[in-house]
Homo-oligomer: A and B are copies of this chain.
Amino acid sequence: MKKPRAVLFDAYGTLFDVYSIALLAEQQFPGQGQRMATLWRDKQIEYTRLITTSNHGAHYRPFWELTQAALRYTIKAIEPRARTEWDAGGFEDKHRALMGQYRHLSGFPETRAVLTGLRERGLKTGILSNGDPEMLGISVRSAGLEALLDHVISVEPVRLFKTAPEAYALGPAATGVPASETLFVSSNSWDALAATWFGYQTLWVNRQNAPFEELGVLPHRIGHSLRDVLAYLDAA
């Protein structure tokens, strides 16, 4: 394989720490914070897939709206009272607070140093995310990463979410670097899998010590933090 000339990152869970959400959820729903954060994340991803597979994407809605819908579902799943007393039970306030937290996620501790390291090595850097442009813009600014990213690519123009090939194709179209010379980095194993199928070089950041998907393909490298991106490049 050729040495990568560009590195594209998934955003939520990969550059931005979505797990911190569990702390606020725990305050709001004592004893349920971790379960709520997991269910919300799973449902958010499920909604992107339902939209992408149903009627060729005809029901597309921006990721922010799907994230809101997924949180509404999650609150109703965990707290049945919310199904009938959404307003009276104060659930709209909890929903708003959690969405506010989601809008201003922190980067992981190593995020800045790694992006800086890519700059020093002369590589192009970018995000390729299911997020819509507005929420991505806010996330990038909140984490102070604007100056370190050459491209912030949303799937919105194709109105299909990853893992649709039309979504992955936006990366090379924006950077001018073919997928085979681009390292795609994600902490989501399904994202690393599908990016490998698409033709990227791939690094799965296995933050949770999970097994990889059992679908017959492995990413080119498995790491445990974004620092493994630099290790991959220096060895390539």
Q: Is the CB of B54 within 8 A of A165?
A: yes
Q: Is the CB of A197 within 8 A of B164?
A: no
Grouping DSSP codes into helix (H, G, I), strand (E, B) and loop, the A interface class, with mixed when no group exceeds half, is helix
Q: Is the CB of A50 within 8 A of B190?
A: yes
CA distance A42 to B46 in the complex (A): 10
**Does A141 touch B at the CB level, under 8 Å?**
no
CA distance A105 to B19 in the complex (A): 37
Q: Is the CB of A211 within 8 A of B54?
A: no
**Does A59 touch B at the CB level, under 8 Å?**
yes
Tell me which of A5-13, A72-80, A131-139, A173-181 binds B: A72-80
A56: which B residues are within 8 A, CB to CB?
A: 165
- Least CB distance from A222 to B in Å reads 12
A80: which B residues are within 8 A, CB to CB?
A: 209
Q: Is the CB of A215 within 8 A of B59?
A: yes
